[in-house]
Amino acid sequence: MARLATALTARAPLAQLIEQAKLVEGLGYDRIWLPEISGRDSFVTGAVVATQTNSIDVGLGVVPLPSRPLPALEMATAALAECAPGRIAVGLGAGHRETAASQFGWPGPSTPEAVGDAVVAMREAMRSATLHHRSAAGEPLILELRGQHVETPPELFIGALRRRMVTVAARTADGMLLNWVTEHRAARLCALAAANRTERRFTAAAYVPVCVVAGSQAREEAYREVAGQLSSYLQLSAYGDLLADDGYADDVEAVRAARRDGQNAAAAVSARLVEAVALIGDADEVKAGLSRLRSAGVDEPVLAPVTVGADSAASLFGTWAALAE
């Protein structure tokens, strides 16, 4: 059965976020994903959204593994799973070396194997209500998860972009989260995951910027909105280098050069680069793009809506309503 999810922006006021969550639940979306970048704590936000909705699944992703000690992640995950049994997913990622120290104060990304080990440890912690970890001196420690009653373990996802992380995700997790990927890369990574997955059910999810628009002016505005977001991500090797490898090396270099020269990096993002990673057009055009992603192996497209016009709420709700299944 085809699934369709959407991301909710961390920038909206909390009351507005709750209103949006209830709206997409009413439209029949299967899951809400809450990215964690540098805004609200996703576990706290996820608990609020989960308790203010009735049936829609709630996922966090991607939470950088180095941002919290593993026992803290396990305790937060257990508490969140108790808020909405059977409706919770938590996605872990390695983090980015370009932002690790400057924005968050941790030394750098984790290895794919460390992320996989964390997923295995979190699954066992949910099963046994016991944390197994090590002290600063390396001594093994056991901590009981007191007061936690996890009836249904949460799904555990891994944020994956490269082959090594996809392989780890397929072997250890319940799913993977892709982001800023072309259809061709999505197809390759989904095929790799399928070749390495265990008997556990596995969900390939992918964030995709979308905007349902009418008219050329609105379409151009949507392109600019996506270009603004993409220009920031292209500075990260995890995204820029991969898009360069996918045949967009000149496009990526133009954006990076503009940023180095103090120019408008967003203006340097080419239309073909936007079209490679985003779906912009009328409802039929965007739905056709979602269908292609599913054919590439993506089980759960995650809409990341961009808005156009003076009434951003109307633009947002219009995209959600037009694409609801």
> In angstroms, rounded to a whole number, what is the distance separating the alpha carbons of residues 248 and 242?
9
Among the ranges 105-114, 126-135, 208-217, which has the highest mean pLDDT value?
A: 208-217
Contact between residue 63 and residue 108 where contact means Cβ atoms under 8 Å apart: no
Three-state secondary structure string covering 52-113: HCCCCEEEEEEEEHHHCCHHHHHHHHHHHHHHCCCCEEEEEECCCCCCHHHHHCCCCCCCHH
Confidence of residue 103 (pLDDT cuts 50, 70, 90): low
**Range 31-48 average pLDDT:** 91
User: Whole-number mean pLDDT of the chain?
Assistant: 92
Residue 127 has pLDDT above 80, yes or no: yes
> What pLDDT sits at residue 291?
98
> In angstroms, rounded to a whole number, what is the distance separating the alpha carbons of residues 118 and 70?
7
> In angstroms, rounded to a whole number, what is the distance separating the alpha carbons of residues 218 and 220?
5
Q: Which residue is listed with tokens 């912690």?
A: 125
Confidence of residue 101 (pLDDT cuts 50, 70, 90): low
Give DSSP secondary structure letters for 129-176: SEEEEE-TTS-EEEEE-TT---SSPPEEEEE--SHHHHHHHHHHSSEE
Residue 41 has pLDDT above 80, yes or no: yes
> What pLDDT sits at residue 237?
87
Contact between residue 164 and residue 189 where contact means Cβ atoms under 8 Å apart: no
Percent of the chain with pLDDT over 90: 76
Contact between residue 300 and residue 5 where contact means Cβ atoms under 8 Å apart: yes
> What pLDDT sits at residue 224?
98
- Out of 67-81, 217-231, 301-315, least confident range: 67-81
Confidence of residue 1 (pLDDT cuts 50, 70, 90): low
pLDDT in tens, 199-246: 899 999 999 999 999 999 999 999 999 999 999 999 888 899 999 999
Q: Is 191 exposed, middle or buried (0-12, 13-18, 19+ CB in 10 A)?
A: middle
Confidence of residue 167 (pLDDT cuts 50, 70, 90): very high
> In angstroms, rounded to a whole number, what is the distance separating the alpha carbons of residues 25 and 5?
10
Higher pLDDT, 103 or 20: 20
Higher pLDDT, 24 or 39: 24
